[in-house]
């Protein structure tokens, strides 16, 4: 009644080399964007203080978080490249998800601060130099557009890179709103346009922040990826040849884009457990792109084949839904 055990990562030497090359490319794009952001941010702070524009200062503050987000993303990529060793049996890949959550949280905190400042200025609007705001914001649009395109060239399937990208994208929208506000102030004198532009940026920050926090939280809570339904996959596994039952099925993500699965599989008495395990591993890899699968495979006891008998006699603490063959 031997048990088969598959713990396939599905990474050949060539694949590992490709992953390393992708990480190096990501770091180059991120570093280039970081240099642009830091250089422009310094100038924007000076102009924002001179012009008295909250929108410009808010954009500069957001650019500071952009720079921090990129630095954090670069650090996370460096850590994630470390091999699994010692107690870190999955390596440091989850650091990328920590980075994504930190990016999402900073967007939400910054949005709260800007909302407070915007309301205060709406009640007591200061003088704002519209022309200076317009010119600076237009330059910011160009700088942010270049930086955003650079990061978009990196691997955005990584939630870590996506976090940095969302920071820059909301900043780009913010500069566009600020430029419009500067033009309105310059031609109409309506200084409240500066505050309205800030509130538009706040809405975009909240949307991006919530999205990042929700996505990273799903991974930390070991939830199945949105594109992988455990009920569907469990039923499909139970439908494979000579499989009697699948239970203790768990699907989660080690990091973004790296799904993993574990399950206990019962096979018809007399059939080869190893061949069934190989068939299931091939099925999971090719049909659902799950290359990291750990399968405990045993022969089913004769009495477990009786219809209506639950699995508690085989697994006293079975977790989750039980999937049985319909044959």
d(CA 99, CA 20): 19
CATH topology of domain 230-324: Dihydrodipicolinate Reductase; domain 2 (3.30.360)
CA dihedral 317, 323, 324, 327 (to 10 degrees): -170
- The domain over range 13-220 is classified in CATH as 3.90.550.10: no
What is the DSSP annotation of 241-309? TTEEEEEEEEEEESSTT-EEEEEEEEE-TTS-HHHHHHHHHHHHHHHH---EEEEEEEEPPGGGGSTT-
DSSP bridge partners of 294? 7, 262
Query: For the chain, what are the domain ranges?
Result: 13-220, 230-324
Tens digit of pLDDT per residue, the chain (327 long)? Answer: 444 444 333 333 333 433 555 667 788 888 888 888 888 888 878 877 887 776 667 667 767 778 888 888 888 888 888 887 888 887 888 888 888 898 899 889 988 988 988 888 888 777 777 787 788 888 888 988 998 888 888 877 788 888 888 888 888 888 888 888 888 888 888 888 888 888 888 898 899 899 989 999 999 999 999 899 999 999 999 999 999 999 999 999 988 888 999 999 999 998 899 999 999 999 999 999 999 999 999 998 865 555 444 444 455 555 678 888 765
DSSP bridge partners of 265? 246, 297
The reply to whether 230-324 shares the fold of 13-220 is: no
Specify whether the backbone of 248 is left (phi greater than 0), alpha (psi in -120 to 50) or beta: left
Global pTM exceeds 0.75:
no
Tokens standing for 13?
Answer: 């030497």
Tokens standing for 6?
Answer: 């598959």
């Amino acid at each position: 009644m031997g048990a088969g055990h598959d713990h396939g990562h599905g990474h050949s030497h060539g694949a590992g080399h490709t992953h390393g090359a992708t990480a190096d490319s990501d770091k180059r794009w991120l570093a280039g964007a970081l240099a642009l952001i830091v250089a422009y941010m310094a100038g924007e702070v000076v102009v924002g203080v001179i012009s008295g524009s909250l929108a410009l200062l808010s954009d500069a503050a957001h650019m500071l978080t952009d720079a921090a987000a990129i630095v954090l993303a670069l650090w996370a990529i460096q850590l994630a490249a470390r091999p699994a060793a010692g107690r870190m049996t999955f390596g440091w890949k989850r650091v990328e998800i920590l980075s994504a959550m930190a990016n999402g949280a900073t967007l939400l905190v910054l949005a709260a601060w800007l909302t407070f400042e915007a309301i205060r200025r709406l009640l007591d609007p200061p003088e704002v130099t519209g022309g200076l705001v317009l010119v600076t914001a237009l330059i910011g649009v160009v700088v942010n557009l270049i930086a955003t395109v650079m990061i978009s060239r990196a691997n955005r399937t990584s939630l870590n890179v996506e976090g940095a990208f969302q920071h820059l994208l909301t900043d780009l929208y913010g500069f566009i709103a600020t430029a419009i506000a500067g033009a309105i102030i310059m031609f109409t004198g309506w200084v409240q346009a500066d505050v309205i532009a800030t509130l538009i940026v706040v809405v975009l920050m909240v949307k991006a922040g919530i999205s990042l926090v929700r996505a990273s939280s799903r991974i930390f809570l070991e939830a199945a990826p949105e594109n992988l339904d455990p009920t569907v996959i469990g039923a499909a596994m139970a439908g494979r040849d000579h499989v009697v039952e699948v239970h203790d099925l768990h699907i989660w993500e080690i990091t973004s884009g790296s799904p993993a699965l574990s399950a206990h599989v019962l096979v018809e008495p007399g059939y080869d457990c190893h061949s069934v395990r190989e068939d299931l591993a091939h099925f999971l890899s090719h049909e659902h792109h799950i290359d990291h699968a750990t399968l405990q495979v045993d022969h089913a006891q004769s009495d477990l084949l009786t219809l209506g008998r639950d699995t508690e006699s085989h697994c006293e603490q079975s977790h989750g839904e039980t999937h049985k063959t319909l044959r």
